[in-house]
Each structure stands twice: as structure tokens, then as C-alpha cells.
Amino acid sequence: MKTEIYELPQGRIGIFHSDKNLSFGFLELEENQELNKHSRPVDEELIQIKGISEITLFEETETKTIMLKEGEKIIIPANTEHIHANKMNEKSLTFWKFEGDITEIIDKIREANK
């Protein structure tokens, strides 16, 4: 997959690379926006580049929220439902990376935003 930037109602997703082994890119969320609850079939690594992100994890026995500040990193375990939110009054920029191809996930996001 070549580099792509996909516009969302909440911001945009940039895909720098995606093949069967590895996908990575960025998520830019506008002020006071969030993605719908979702999960990935593999571990997902997030590094906060700009602003602050609020990551809510829905685990088997509890729900917890983590404030991800600039320079901080989190690894979200495979199949963990989560919400990525920007509750601040400035844009948020997060780098993401995981093993595997993101094409199918992006296709689902496109379909949900039609």
C-alpha cells in the first residue's frame, strides 16, 4: 500500500506503510473529538507526538483511562476494545504502529463514515 491520508469527520489518518508484516502512520484528531470504540487483532503501539490523547481501555474486568502526553508511549494489547479521544482545545497527533496490514481496517472506517 502506498502512502495515503484519509480524511475523517474527527480528523485524519495517515498511512505511511502497510503490508502483511507491518503498518504504521499517524492519527490527527481535531479538538474535542474521538474515534468510535474499536480493537485490533494484534498489539498496537501508540506514541503521542503533539497534544494529549485520552485512551480508554475496555478490559474484561475493568475500564481504565490513560492520559497519553507528548513523548509518552502505550501498547494496547490485541483484541482490547478502546476509544482514542482528544478532549483538549488543540489538535492531537499520535503515531501508531502494529504488525499486519491495515487495509481491511481502513476499508471498515471508510464504510462507517459514508
* Percent of the chain whose pLDDT exceeds 90: 64
Q: Which band of pLDDT confidence, cut at 50, 70 and 90, is reported for residue 114?
A: low
Q: What architecture (CATH level 2) is domain 4-112?
A: Sandwich (2.60)
Q: Name the helix (H) or strand (E) containing 68.
A: strand 63-68
Q: Which band of pLDDT confidence, cut at 50, 70 and 90, is reported for residue 82?
A: very high
Mean pLDDT (whole number) for 52-77: 96
Overall pTM surpassing 0.85 (yes/no) = yes
Degrees to nearest 5, angle at CA 91 with 67 and 13: 90
* pLDDT above 70 for 113: no
* pLDDT above 60 for 1: no
Q: Which three cell numbers stand for residue 108?
A: 471498515
Question: What does the domain layout of the chain look like in residue ranges?
Answer: 4-112
